Amino acid sequence: MGLARKNTKSSRLLSDAGTGAARFVLCVRNRDYPASLELRKVYRALKDEQASRHRQLRVIDESGEDYLYPEEYFVPIKLPQAAEKAVLKAI
């Protein structure tokens, strides 16, 4: 079952609440979204408590926009500081 994508052009901070740390996830599934999500790619996730209550995760995808995807498509990861800086610089 495909889930509708929502583009809200979020103005939320791109960090975990209170920590200032960026939040990253690894794509482990892309069924229904092969053009938008690449398997084994690191994506930046945005905090969205309402989406989380619906088992969705707001992610900046290949289009450069933030969309909601099923949270089971991703696993959270912690990057070493040097890798995090490199990823943030590339975005």
The two structure tokens encoding residue 82: 């040097």
Q: What is the pLDDT of residue 57?
A: 96
Domain ranges of the chain: 24-90
Question: With contact defined as beta carbons under 8 Å apart, do 45 and 87 qualify?
Answer: no
Q: What is the pLDDT of residue 21?
A: 57
Q: What is the pLDDT of residue 61?
A: 86
The two structure tokens encoding residue 25: 């996830």
Q: What is the pLDDT of residue 8?
A: 44
DSSP-based three-state secondary structure for 3 = coil
Question: With contact defined as beta carbons under 8 Å apart, do 26 and 42 qualify?
Answer: yes
Spell out the per-residue pLDDT of the chain, length 91, in tens.
344 454 444 434 344 444 445 699 999 999 999 999 999 999 999 999 999 999 999 999 888 899 999 999 999 999 999 999 998 888 7
Pick 24-90's CATH classification: 2.60.40, 2.30.30, 1.20.1440, 3.40.190: 2.30.30
Q: What is the pLDDT of residue 14?
A: 41
* Predicted structure pTM score: 0.74
Residue with tokens 């079952």: 1
Which residue pairs, CB below 8 angstroms and at least 24 apart, start in 86-91?
Answer: 87/22, 87/24, 87/42, 87/44, 88/22, 91/44, 91/60
